[in-house]
Copies of this chain bind each other. A is one copy, B any other.
Amino acid sequence: MKNANLFDLPQVLGAEEFFEPLLPDCGVLIERIISTGQATPEGEWYDQERDEWVALLQGEADLSYEDGRFLKLKAGDWVFIPAHEKHRVEKTSSDPPCIWLAVHGRLGRGLVAKA
């Protein structure tokens, strides 16, 4: 049996982002995320316990960091976000939807100390 194709979209996409773990999380989580225009709520930051490697496979999105960096991502772009590096998703395209592939785990040279 074949796994669902990364580029196949669910028949119905709700108002929320769609998070789909591709394997059970045994310390490393590999997940697909589909965004259709959502952004991180105003004034909020992602502050994650684990490092994240994340690629945008389809669509366009803007990321920003607490230190002021701002990145415009297009399909094929990827970033490495060490644990506790605060970041936000400023914008995601809805046509086409953003398809993200994210790997969460201890990926870097060591977890960044929590501020």
Contact = CB atoms under 8 A, between A and B. Distances in A.
Interface in A17-53: 22-24, 26-28, 30, 53
Main secondary structure of the interface of A (DSSP, over half): loop
Interface of A: 2-3, 5-8, 22-24, 26-28, 30, 53, 55, 57, 71, 74-80, 101, 103, 105-110
Given A2-B71, A55-B6, A71-B2, A107 B26 contact: yes
Nearest to A58: B76
Q: How many copies does the complex hold?
A: 2
B107 A3 contact: no
Nearest to A77: B5
Contact of A108 (B7, B23, B57, B71): B23
